[in-house]
Every structure is written in structure tokens, then in C-alpha cells.
């Protein structure tokens, strides 16, 4: 994306999101990073909903897509700030996903 602004993306192998004691530290790291998009790998979760996203992400992250875990391994979550991006799921399978983002600031595409 060429908009004169740097978009910050946080990619992190969280090694599971099922332990409630991790949620605050994950949320704190997301806040500290001042990122615009997060990609969490090895979530080890089958399902995500908006209420859970609010437990681990600041309120500005209000859109997300995920790949469910395969039993106790795998899983991926991508969340983003809807105020900055439109996100569209382009590809999704059991092990990967691809999203295309369009900047709401200048309509510049990126993926």
C-alpha cells in the first residue's frame, strides 16, 4: 500500500488462546504494538465470535476472519480496524487463508 502512511501488522504465534490468563497479556501486547492488523497463529481454537475478540483485542479491532484449529493444533485469526480497512476473504482452507485489504483512507489495495 502506498498511502504515505505505514500500516503496522502484528504476527504472533500465541501457542493457544484457551487459557484465560493469557488474554490480558495478549491484549496489552496488541495495544503496545499500535498495530492496525493482527495475525495470530496456533490459536488452538475451533470458533471465534465478536465477544471473544473483544476479550483479546482493543475495541478498534472490530472485523475478523479465522481458520479453526485441527483438534489441539493450528488455528489462525486475522483481525483489523474497520475504520482503516475493508477486508475481503480471498482464499480459505484448513491450513491457510488470504485476505485482501483496501484502505479506507485512500482506497489503495493491499494483501
Which residues are annotated binding-site positions for Mg(2+)? 13, 42
Binding residues: 13, 42
What is the phi-psi region of residue 22: left when phi exceeds 0, alpha when psi lies from -120 to 50, beta otherwise?
A: alpha
C-alpha cell at 52: 471473544
Q: What angle do CA 107, 109, 110 make, to 5 degrees?
A: 140
Can you list the alpha helix ranges (DSSP code H) found in the chain?
Answer: 20-33, 50-56
Amino acid at each position: 500500500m502506498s498511502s504515505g502512511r505505514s500500516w503496522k501488522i502484528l504476527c504472533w504465534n500465541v501457542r493457544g488462546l484457551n487459557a484465560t490468563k493469557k488474554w490480558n497479556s495478549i491484549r496489552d501486547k496488541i495495544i503496545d504494538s499500535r498495530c492496525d492488523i493482527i495475525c495470530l497463529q496456533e490459536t488452538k481454537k475451533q470458533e471465534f465470535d465478536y465477544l471473544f475478540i473483544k476479550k483479546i483485542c482493543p475495541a478498534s479491532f472490530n472485523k475478523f476472519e479465522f481458520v479453526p484449529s485441527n483438534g489441539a493444533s493450528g488455528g489462525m485469526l486475522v483481525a483489523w480496524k474497520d475504520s482503516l480497512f475493508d477486508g475481503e476473504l480471498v482464499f480459505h482452507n484448513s491450513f491457510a487463508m488470504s485476505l485482501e485489504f483496501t484502505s479506507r483512507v485512500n482506497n489503495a489495495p493491499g494483501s
